[in-house]
Amino acid sequence: MKLQKQNLLAILTLSSLLVVPAREGFAMQDAEQHAEEQEVGNIAAEAEDHAAEEEQLDPVHHGSDSYYLDFTPIGKLQLPRIFLVRGNDGSFGVEVYRSTDSAIDRGGYLPKMEEGVHSVLDAKLEPDNGHILIDFSLTKHLIFAWLSALIVAFIFIRLARMYQRGIGRETPPKGLFQNMFESLVMYIRDEIAVPVLGAKSDKYLPYLLSVFFFILTCNLLGLIPFGATATANLMVTAVLASFTFILTQIGGTRDYWKHIFWPPDAPVFVKLILIPVEIMGLFTKPFALAIRLFANMTAGHLVILSLIGLIFAFTNLFGPIVGFGVVPISVGFALFINLLELLIATIQAYVFTMLSALFINMAVEEHHQHVPDHRESDLGRLVEAAVPVESLTS
């Protein structure tokens, strides 16, 4: 009996020796995991406090791109985060999270608070194991660019079906919807495509129409409440300018390339100077397209936000009474600029389309070299006009 009790005591002792280190190991793992989670939480909390202080002083932030849709004061709708990640062991993988908070909480990503970043939701994320190769995350400007493309596609698919039924082709256009868009299409064709491109206008008209209505829709969506201007993003305007650049180079004639790589009617030493200038011009034209549209659409929103910001600036400096006194002036000017933005939205779509047509025409136009004739010289015409041929032969 004593032997059994001793054996039982020995078994319990050995079991305790085995279990206690295991429990200590689990406790240490839990403590480390809790410490990491607490560290991530502290970083997020500090970033949010930093955002609350600085976001009020940064009107540029409200017009910039973000990983959420801002419906303030209702709230913010976070967009999915998608990453192509390479692990420290060399493995590759695609990780998808429904929001930025989910990537931080479940994926262990750490927000990288760089200068000018005021919120965790705007920060770049870094994985704790490896690094991000490509960030496929959805952004506010991307969502509104897709929305603009869907709106343009819906409008013109509906118009095409109406014309297939003979409405507008066999009978007069029907309703305000068809009449308005038919007038805009005819204007782009008759005032831009045909005068600039001539006989080749039909070939490039679909692209010019697509560019005009897409840019116009993006610009107008940025003027509605809770909207965003996709064309205020340099990446969006750069893609649009790239399409014009590609079409220009594809449609380039033999004379076009000859004028770039061996300009005619110029001495050799001048050609050596002109060739790099012409090659540089290939890229400066689409660059100017992208920068012009981006800068104009960004500037209008910055002016409006700055005018509204005057209310809070004067309130902080001189008190609420002066702040309330500035309200009518700031709101009045902001409303005027907002109405002016409606005109600018249309003008910028027109300018981008017009310049695209001009750049394409410079490439596709046939250059015919004119050989001067002494009989067609200005002096010959003047002499012939002053002294008729009949008087010389009489």
Cα 320 from Cα 327, distance rounded (Å): 11
Specify if 275 maps to a domain.
yes
Residue pair 185/177 in contact (Cβ under 8 Å)? The answer is no
Pair 166, 283 in one domain = yes
Answer yes or no: is 50 within a domain: no
Tens-level pLDDT at each residue, the chain (394 residues): 433 444 433 433 334 333 333 333 333 344 444 444 454 444 444 444 444 444 454 556 666 888 999 888 888 999 999 999 988 888 888 999 999 999 988 888 888 877 667 778 878 888 888 889 998 999 999 999 999 999 999 999 999 999 888 888 788 888 888 899 999 999 999 999 999 999 899 999 999 999 999 999 999 999 998 889 999 999 999 999 999 999 999 998 888 998 888 888 888 888 889 999 999 989 999 999 999 999 999 988 888 888 888 888 888 888 888 888 888 988 898 889 888 899 999 999 999 999 999 999 999 987 654 444 444 444 444 344 444 444 444 4
Q: Quick check: is 373 in a domain?
A: no
- Residue by residue, what is the 3-state secondary structure of the chain? CHHHHHHHHHHHHHHHHHHHHHHHHHHHHHHHHHHHHHHHHHHHHHHHHHHHHHHHHCHHHHHCCCCEEEECCCEEEECCEEEEEECCCCCEEEEEECCHHHHHHCCCCEEECCCCCCCHHHCEEECCCCEEEEECCCCHHHHHHHHHHHHHHHHHHHHHHHHHCCECCCECCCHHHHHHHHHHHHHHHHHHHHHHHHHHHHHHHHHHHHHHHHHHHHHHHCCCCCCCCHHHCHHHHHHHHHHHHHHHHHCCCHHHHHHHHCCCCCCHHHHHHHHHHHHHHHHHHHHHHHHHHHHHHHHHHHHHHHHHHHHHHHHHHHCHHHHHHHHHHHHHHHHHHHHHHHHHHHHHHHHHHHHHHHHHHHHHCCCCCCCCCHHHCHHHHHHHHHCCHHHHHC
Tokens of 318: 């001189």
Two structure tokens written together for 249: 């180079």
Identify the domain boundary among 91, 121, 138: 138
Expressed as residue numbers, the domain containing 316 is 142-364
Instruction: Please tell me whether residues 261 and 116 are part of one structural domain.
Output: no
Could you tell me if 115 and 264 lie in one domain?
A: no
What residues have CB less than 8 Å from 71, skipping those under 6 apart? 77, 226
User: Are residue 190 and residue 333 in the same domain, yes or no?
Assistant: yes
Residue 216 within any structural domain of the chain: yes
Q: What is the pLDDT, as a whole number, of residue 137?
A: 92
Indicate whether 49 belongs to any domain: no
- Residues contacting 157, CB < 8 A, separation 6+: none
Q: Are residues 86 and 151 in the same domain?
A: no
Reported as half-sphere exposure (CB side, CA atoms, 13 A), residue 75 has a value of: 3
Beta-carbon contacts of 355 under 8 Å, excluding residues fewer than 6 positions away, are 288, 289
**307 and 329, same domain (yes or no):** yes
Q: What would the two tokens of residue 59 be? A: 């009107």
- 264 shares a domain with 183: yes
Phi, psi (5° rounding) for residue 74? -70, -45
Q: Are residues 200 and 262 in the same domain?
A: yes
CB 191 within 8 A of CB 209: no
Give the whole-angstrom CA distance, residue 171 versus residue 380.
Answer: 57
Say whether both 134 and 165 belong to one domain.
no
Shared domain for 282 and 303, answered yes or no, is yes
Residue that terminates a domain, selected from 85, 106, 138: 138
Nearest to 59 by CA among 350, 334, 370: 334
| Cα 49 from chain centroid (whole Å) | 29
How many CB atoms are closer than 10 A to CB 211? 20
**Region of residue 75 (phi > 0: left; psi between -120 and 50: alpha; otherwise: beta):** left
- The domain total for the chain is 2
90 with 152, same domain: the answer is: no
| Within-domain flag for 11 | no
First to last CA, the chain: 158
Domain check: are 151 and 166 in the same one? yes
CA–CA separation, 53 and 56 (whole Å): 7
Instruction: Give residues with Cβ within 8 angstroms of 308, minimum separation 6.
Output: 330, 331, 334
pLDDT at 368: 54
Q: Is residue 19 part of a domain?
A: no
pLDDT at 318: 87
Which one of 90, 113, 138 terminates a domain? 138
